[in-house]
């Protein structure tokens, strides 16, 4: 038998569930009635006699029997006036036989037997009997003890990737809408889905609800933090896995995203997932960043990447959806009842539901009293509307009026750091910026400033959590980062101070992305910024990495950014702002790169990317030519991995494509012969690999090499590897991926507005 405690249901949800269960049990169509200050009727059946059957719902799952008994005593007089032929009492509270006997005595003669009194166990029995209702009520079974145990025991939740309490709260507040159905349908048919929309609209929430659904069906959840290579590392086509890549193109810009060959790797992984019978891939991004990426990365533009995109926007929220989101947040919130009634009074909630700036994120914020300590009963509704009229005001007042300068400095610093930064790295960056600002404006600086300031912003602006032995810090939600980035764009002086205090190269990349968004009203300002920016790059070019990959065992692994990749970034900057100072820096960096090649301290893949960028750059002609020639020669001659792996051929073949004049006809012919011999000698071994992903990647590399070396055909053809990958995957049966679509059956003739008013009258 099902075992639900019904605590995840609001009063409105409980009444709808009761109606659906009793309609099946009694085989009757029941009427719903206006709730709140009612006449003792929640549901009714009247055909031959007025008030033939009256049903009263008492959602008392968090209360005791004495409270229920007291409430029933108050109902008796109403029941007598209604004089029903039959009266049914339904409660979410567990009842003993003695409890039922006592309630029956109170409600006689209208309750005929204890069978007219339904408690928690009776409702669970009906859910077991009518499984289609249980299956449809996603909120009920996604918050069941079985699923919650899976959440609690899953490594992602235990390591605070998604806080356990947070996801349970989201499950209670979530309202299923059209975007959920669309996303489930796409995942069922294509195995991957990109959830895209404006900030605060519910992208991450939708993704997390989908994750819990797959977790309930025994999928392993894998969260991708920084690079799609993390997914490739743990991908197994034979295992039930769902990969989750939140803000896969970055939260505010493309900085540090789709680096090197990331766009192609992403498309390769999507293709592997699409062919898999056991894998799902959920990605989220902001719509404008997705559009930006498609114009920046030609491989994404050429692909059919957006055809199966699932976009979440306000059009997916019906009026009832908006109302239910607001109602759920009010019902499950820590707001005192008098605050909630300010929204119900004069039906003020309509002004929220119909507001042009309606946003689930604002709803969440305004229904959490801990985030709004200055709120009073009198100003609650006015403040609610004010924040809808001007969403940035949510953070402006708190940032400018409620926290110290040191706390402001923490938030400014965090804009320039990864979405999740270690406490140690944050403190180092804070000390540099805080010292600079304190010296510049002659303000005091205490050794306890960092710790004291962090306490100020914890739980409001930022969240602090543990991963194994490390303490990590992140913005509380993306809207805080949005606000802080806009603040820096409007306060260029503080942005320049941030630039002058950088200690990590990562900070330079982020600040450059912000600077690009600032209106270039003053050429002199831009020139000064570039000068400071070059100094910052020179100072941090060899600094430590601050991106980490989180492992399920609680460890952090540094995500290394190769030197060649950093040089590529400087080339991109020079392309946009060509000046003598940055050319001189590039010449110095090329000298450093030559020394690294000589010492074998390099990433060959990143070196290829850098060389390709140089070959296509407009600033190449301004750089010192003798150094560039040395770089090209060493890149070719110092490659000592002489063709032991297929990637070795790809490196040299790529060099021949980037700088064809550096290779003679005889060298290309010799390389071509060696590759064909290598390919034929390793063909059977690779074909027997048995991993579809490896087989397809091998085919892709071979295809690229044959294109560079102008090899017209190979025997056997490399397409055999792709065919074998398909055959391996066909051996696995597809999983059952039906989606459910439940909004509560509605058999009444009431209008949508009437339904909404009935719901809020419950408060």
Give DSSP secondary structure letters for 574-638. HHHS--HHHHHHHHHHHHHHHHHHHTT-S-HHHHHHHHHHHHH-SSGGGS-HHHHHHHHHHHHHT
Q: Does any domain span residue 610?
A: no
Question: Residue 490 falls within a domain, yes or no?
Answer: yes
Longest dimension (CA), the chain: 105
| Final residue before a domain boundary, out of 532, 561, 590 | 561
CATH number (domain holding residue 211): 3.40.50.300
Positive/negative CA dihedral, 179, 184, 187, 192: positive
Residue 747 lies in a domain: no
Beta bridge partners of 548: 558
Domain contains 465 = yes
Sole residue written with tokens 């990426």: 293
Cβ within 8 Å of residue 628, ≥6 positions away: 590, 614, 620
Phi, psi of 118 (to 5 degrees): -105, 120
Block residue for tokens 């989750």? 244
Rounded to whole angstroms, the Cα distance separating 700 from 128 reads: 51
What is the model's pLDDT at position 732?
A: 59
218, 193: one domain: yes
Burial class (CB in 10 A: 0-12, 13-18, 19+), 274: middle
The helix (H) or strand (E) run that includes residue 43 is: strand 43-45
Spell out the residues 6+ positions from residue 308 whose beta carbon is closer than 8 angstroms to its own.
Answer: 186, 190, 192, 193, 194
Do 40 and 65 reside in the same domain of the chain? yes
Q: Look at residues 265, 295, 315 and tell me which one is the last residue of a structural domain.
A: 315
Note whether 284 and 194 are same-domain residues: yes
Q: Are 261 and 605 in contact (CB under 8 A)?
A: yes
Closest CA to 209 of 199, 195, 197, 198: 195
User: Is residue 572 domain-resident?
Assistant: no
Q: What is the DSSP pairing of strand 556-558 with strand 548-550?
A: antiparallel
Same domain, 428 and 529: yes
Q: What pLDDT is recorded for position 302?
A: 57
- Does residue 585 fall inside a structural domain? no
In a domain, 592, yes or no: no
Tally the domains of the chain: 5
3-class SS of residue 394: helix
Looking at the fold, whether 106 and 192 belong to one and the same domain comes out as no
Quick one: which of 401, 390, 342 has its CA closest to 367? 342
If asked whether residues 309 and 347 sit together in one domain, one would say: no
Number of helices followed by number of strands (H, E) in the chain: 37, 15
107: Cβ–Cβ under 8 A, 6 or more apart, which residues? 72, 76, 79, 87, 89, 116, 117
382 in the same domain as 413: no
- Residue 244 bridge partners (DSSP): 223, 282
Instruction: Clarify whether residues 225 and 293 are in a common domain.
Output: yes
* 209 and 308 inside one domain: yes
Question: Rg of the Cα trace of the chain?
Answer: 31
- Predicted confidence at residue 746, as pLDDT, reads 47
Say yes or no: 155 and 111 in one domain.
no
In sequence order, the 6+-apart residues with CB closer than 8 A to the CB of 594 are 627, 630, 631, 634
State the CB neighbour count (10 A cutoff) for residue 243: 24
- The reply to whether 429 and 525 lie within a common domain is yes
Same domain, 192 and 55: no
Residue 225 belongs to some domain of the structure:
yes
* Among the listed residues 530, 505, 506, the one whose alpha carbon sits nearest the alpha carbon of residue 518: 530
Instruction: Please report where in the chains the tokens 């540090």 appear, as a residue.
Output: 256
Instruction: Give the tokens for residue 58.
Output: 């008492």
**Beta-sheet strands, E only, within 357-461:** 421-422
Domain-terminating residue out of 561, 594, 619 = 561
Per the structure, the complete domain to which residue 517 belongs is given by: 400-561
Give pLDDT, residue 329: 95
Low-confidence ranges of the chain (pLDDT < 50): 36-37, 159-162, 253-256, 258, 307, 733-734, 736, 738-749
């Amino acid at each position: 038998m099902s075992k639900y405690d019904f605590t995840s249901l609001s009063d409105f949800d409980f009444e709808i569930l009761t109606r659906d269960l009793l309609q099946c049990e009694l085989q009757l169509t029941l009427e719903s009635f206006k709730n709140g200050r009612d006449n003792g009727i929640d549901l009714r059946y009247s055909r031959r006699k007025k008030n033939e059957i009256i049903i009263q719902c008492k959602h008392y799952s968090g209360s005791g029997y004495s409270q229920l008994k007291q409430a029933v005593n108050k109902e008796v007089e109403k029941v007598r006036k209604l004089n029903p032929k039959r009266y049914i009492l339904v409660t979410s509270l567990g009842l003993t036989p003695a409890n039922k006997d006592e309630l029956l005595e109170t409600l006689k003669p209208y309750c005929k037997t204890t069978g007219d009194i339904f408690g928690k166990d009776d409702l669970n029995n009906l859910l077991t009997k009518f499984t289609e209702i249980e299956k449809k009520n996603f909120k009920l079974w996604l918050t069941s003890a079985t699923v919650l145990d899976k959440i609690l025991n899953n490594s992602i939740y235990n390591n605070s990737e998604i806080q356990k309490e947070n996801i349970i709260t989201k499950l209670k507040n979530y309202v299923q809408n059209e975007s959920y159905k669309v996303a489930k349908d796409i995942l069922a048919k294509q195995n991957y889905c990109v959830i895209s929309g404006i900030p605060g609209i519910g992208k991450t929430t939708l993704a997390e609800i989908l994750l819990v659904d797959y977790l309930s069906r025994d999928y392993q959840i894998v969260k991708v933090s920084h690079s799609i290579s993390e997914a490739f590392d743990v991908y197994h086509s034979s295992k039930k896995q769902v990969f989750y890549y939140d803000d896969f193109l970055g939260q505010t810009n493309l900085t540090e995203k789709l680096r090197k060959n990331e766009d192609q790797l992403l498309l390769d992984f999507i293709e592997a997932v699409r062919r898999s019978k056991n894998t799902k891939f959920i990605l989220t991004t902001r719509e404008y960043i997705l559009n930006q990426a498609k114009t920046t990365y030609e491989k994404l533009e050429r692909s059919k990447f957006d055809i199966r995109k699932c976009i979440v926007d306000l059009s997916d929220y019906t009026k009832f959806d908006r109302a239910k989101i607001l109602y759920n947040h009010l019902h499950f919130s820590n707001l005192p009842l008098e605050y909630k009634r300010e929204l119900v009074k004069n039906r003020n909630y309509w002004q929220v539901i119909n507001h042009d700036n309606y946003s689930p994120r604002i709803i969440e914020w305004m229904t959490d009293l801990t985030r709004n300590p200055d709120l009073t009963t009198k100003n609650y509704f006015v403040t609610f509307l004010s924040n809808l009229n001007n969403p940035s005001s949510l953070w402006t007042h708190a940032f400018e009026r409620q926290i110290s300068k040191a706390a402001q400095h923490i938030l400014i610093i965090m804009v320039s750091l990864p979405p999740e930064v270690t406490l140690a790295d944050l403190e180092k960056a804070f000390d540099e910026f805080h010292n600079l600002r304190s010296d510049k404006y002659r303000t005091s600086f205490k050794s306890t400033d960092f710790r004291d300031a962090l306490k100020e912003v914890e739980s409001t602006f930022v969240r602090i959590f543990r991963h194994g032995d490390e303490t990590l810090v992140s913005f509380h939600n993306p809207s805080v980062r949005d606000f802080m980035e806009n603040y820096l764009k409007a306060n260029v002086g503080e942005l320049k101070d941030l630039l002058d205090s950088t200690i990590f190269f990562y900070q330079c990349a982020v600040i450059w992305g912000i600077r690009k968004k600032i209106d270039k009203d003053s050429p002199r300002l831009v020139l000064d910024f570039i000068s400071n920016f070059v100094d910052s790059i020179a100072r941090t070019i060899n600094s430590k990495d601050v991106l980490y990959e989180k492992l399920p065992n609680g460890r952090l692994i540094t995500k290394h950014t190769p030197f060649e990749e950093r040089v590529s970034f400087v080339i991109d900057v020079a392309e946009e702002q060509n000046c003598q100072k940055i050319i001189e820096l590039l010449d110095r960096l090329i000298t450093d790169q030559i020394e690294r090649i000589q010492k074998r301290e390099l990433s060959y893949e990143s070196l290829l990317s850098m060389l390709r960028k140089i070959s296509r750059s407009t600033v190449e002609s301004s750089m010192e030519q003798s150094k560039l020639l040395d770089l090209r020669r060493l890149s070719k001659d110092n490659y000592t991995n002489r063709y032991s792996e297929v990637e070795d051929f790809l490196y040299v073949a790529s060099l021949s494509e980037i700088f064809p004049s550096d290779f003679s006809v005889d060298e290309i012919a010799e390389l071509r012969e060696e590759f064909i011999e290598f390919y034929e000698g390793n063909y059977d071994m690779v074909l027997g690999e048995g991993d579809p992903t490896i087989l397809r990647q091998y085919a892709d590399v071979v295809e690229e090499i044959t294109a560079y070396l102008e090899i017209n055909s190979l025997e056997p053809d490399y397409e055999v590897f792709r065919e074998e990958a398909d055959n391996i995957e066909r051996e696995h049966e597809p999983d059952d991926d039906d989606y459910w679509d439940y909004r509560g059956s509605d058999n009444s003739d009431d209008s949508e507005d009437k339904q909404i008013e009935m719901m809020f009258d419950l408060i």
